[in-house]
A and B are shown apart, each in its own frame.
Chain A
Amino acid sequence: AQSVTQLGSHVSVSEGALVLLRCNYSSSVPPYLFWYVQYPNQGLQLLLKYTTGATLVKGINGFEAEFKKSETSFHLTKPSAHMSDAAEYFCAVSNYGGSQGNLIFGKGTKLSVKP
């Protein structure tokens, strides 16, 4: 069975500081990995995804994530936080070769950005 663990339900950073949101996964098959962002009372927007190929994935809004198979991790980073990055972030996994809509989500990390 697949699972996703996001370390830290709340992360607070200062504007301009590095953003690091942690995600570890468990999967018995090669995974597809995703990061979604959710603003209050809105749906989820895809930030980036890893399916195959290059392990460093770049997404929207300056975010990137690196797939590390040996560490079963897919941490999300952004070099310099902006106030508009304040939102909740979800890491998710789906089966390789399967539908990318059948997702197992982590519990989410709420990011606060201080001025």
Chain B
Amino acid sequence: SQTIHQWPATLVQPVGSPLSLECTVEGTSNPNLYWYRQAAGRGLQLLFYSVGIGQISSEVPQNLSASRPQDRQFILSSKKLLLSDSGFYLCAWSVGTSEAFFGQGTRLTVV
């Protein structure tokens, strides 16, 4: 069966520090991969999605970037975190026309 892993579960980082969040999917090939952010007062927002290795689409201009170095690996990064980057980050995957399946999320607090 398919599983999705996100880590870390929680993270506290100072303003200006770099960020790397990782997401991996097991049990499927060539998934579509997504990063969502859930922030207070702003609901759930799609940040990036990828339909294949090296292919990244950005939905919202921001201080973040995404990369897909392997078929089932999706990384969210930042060179310098802002306070406004705080939130709950969710990775998700889908295959073809299937619905999206979400990971357990990473709670990021920028201090």
Please list the residues of chain A having a beta carbon within 8 angstroms of any beta carbon in chain B. Answer: 34, 36, 41-46, 49, 90, 92, 97, 99-108
- Residue pair B43, A101 in contact (C-beta under 8 Å): no
Name A92's closest neighbour in chain B (CB-CB). B44
Interface size class of B (residues with CB under 8 A): 20 to 34
CB within 8 Å of A: which B87-107 residues: 88, 90, 92-94, 97-105, 107
Q: At the interface, yes or no: B24 with Cβ under 8 Å from chain A?
A: no
- Residue pair B99, A45 in contact (C-beta under 8 Å): no
- Residue pair B49, A43 in contact (C-beta under 8 Å): no
- Residue pair B90, A101 in contact (C-beta under 8 Å): no
List chain A residues, Cβ under 8 A from B34.
Answer: 101-102
**Residue from A44, A92, A101, A108 within 8 A of B49 (CB atoms):** A101
Q: How far is the CB of B51 from chain A (nearest CB, A)?
A: 8
Q: Give Cα A43–Cα B34 distance, bound, in whole angstroms.
A: 13
CB within 8 Å of A: which B55-110 residues: 88, 90, 92-94, 97-105, 107
Beyond A43-B90, A44-B90, A100-B94, 12 additional contacts (C-beta under 8 Å) are: A44-B44, A46-B101, A49-B99, A99-B49, A99-B94, A100-B100, A101-B93, A101-B94, A101-B100, A105-B45, A106-B43, A108-B44
Q: How far is the CB of B100 from chain A (nearest CB, A)?
A: 4
- Residue pair B98, A100 in contact (C-beta under 8 Å): yes
Main secondary structure of the interface of B (DSSP, over half): strand
CB within 8 Å of A: which B28-59 residues: 32, 34, 43-46, 49, 51
Name B4's closest neighbour in chain A (CB-CB). A43
List chain B residues, Cβ under 8 A from A108.
Answer: 43-44
Q: Give Cα A45–Cα B90 distance, bound, in whole angstroms.
A: 12
Can you sample 8 A-B contacts with CB below 8 Å?
A43-B6, A44-B90, A90-B44, A101-B34, A101-B94, A102-B49, A104-B46, A107-B43
Name A46's closest neighbour in chain B (CB-CB). B99
